Amino acid sequence: MVEMVETEVECCKIISEDVENAVVIEGSPELGLIGNIVGWLLVEELKMKEIGHIESKYFPPLAVLYKGVAIRPFRIYSSDDLVLFLSDFVVPPEVTYDMTNAIVEWMDRNNSKEVITLNSIAVRQKTNGVAAAANSFEGLKRLGDLNLPILPFGNINGLSGTLLTRSKNSDIPGSCLFAEVLNQYPDPRAAASVVDVLNRMLDIEVNPEPLLKEAEEIESRLKELANAVQGEGESPAYS
């Protein structure tokens, strides 16, 4: 039987198997739900195994349905040398700092190679590009070698920001990938751009095609809705 190890701080508890020398990815549903969308694709495409979860009395009262089965809302997955921290809700701000400490403690104990967080940036016009930031100048060079534009200024919200700074204190390389989004709605096409970058960064092969197909379906429905609304607007007020 695999041993489950607890990492507990004031606000939450990580109950998980230990996985040494892994790359850690954090995905949580910020603007455009990029981290969440990419995370679920990684789970499916890499056939990741659930190895633990995070629990807290401060989490919203919910369970997530997956293929009809109720699962915990913040789970930890693993496949080969990759570990994924995946949340299906926005982590409350009052929990973020202590949770970050627990995650970094977990990474310290397991000698994690690096942490990659997934986030987004609001733009007026999309190019489907991905910008990046790091917690060290060495990390910036690596991102530059991948021809990723560096985000020079701004704030990084949620777990992404605190993980970058806290992991730096523990000498764990950290980077953040920012997908371009127009609004708060789910954006599978932007998420697919992040998957392409992860494939190059980690030398993995995750097929982004399911996200592109989902994006096309969403865009088609939105176009139909816009046409319907426009048609209603052109209808005479009286007949």
The enclosing domain of 18 has a CATH number of: 3.40.50.10900
Asked if residue 103 belongs to a domain, the reply is yes
Asked if residue 236 belongs to a domain, the reply is no
User: What global pTM score does this model have?
Assistant: 0.87
Long-range interactions of 212-221: CB distance < 8 A, separation 24+:
212/188, 214/188, 215/187, 215/188, 215/189, 218/186, 218/188
pLDDT per position as a tens digit, 54-113? 999 888 888 888 889 999 999 999 999 999 999 999 888 888 989 999 999 999 999 999
Asked if residue 238 belongs to a domain, the reply is no
Sequential DSSP letters for 138-202: HHHHHHHHTTPPB--S----HHHHHHHHHHHHTT--EEEEEEEESSSS--HHHHHHHHHHHHHHH
pLDDT per position as a tens digit, 25-63? 999 888 889 999 999 999 999 999 999 999 998 888 888
| Structural domain count of the chain | 1
* pLDDT classification of 124: cutoffs 50, 70, 90: confident
At residue 190, φ and ψ (nearest 5 deg) are -65, -40
Is residue 193 within 8 Å of 128, Cβ to Cβ? yes
Q: What is the mean pLDDT of residues 1-21?
A: 82
Domain span including residue 36: 5-208
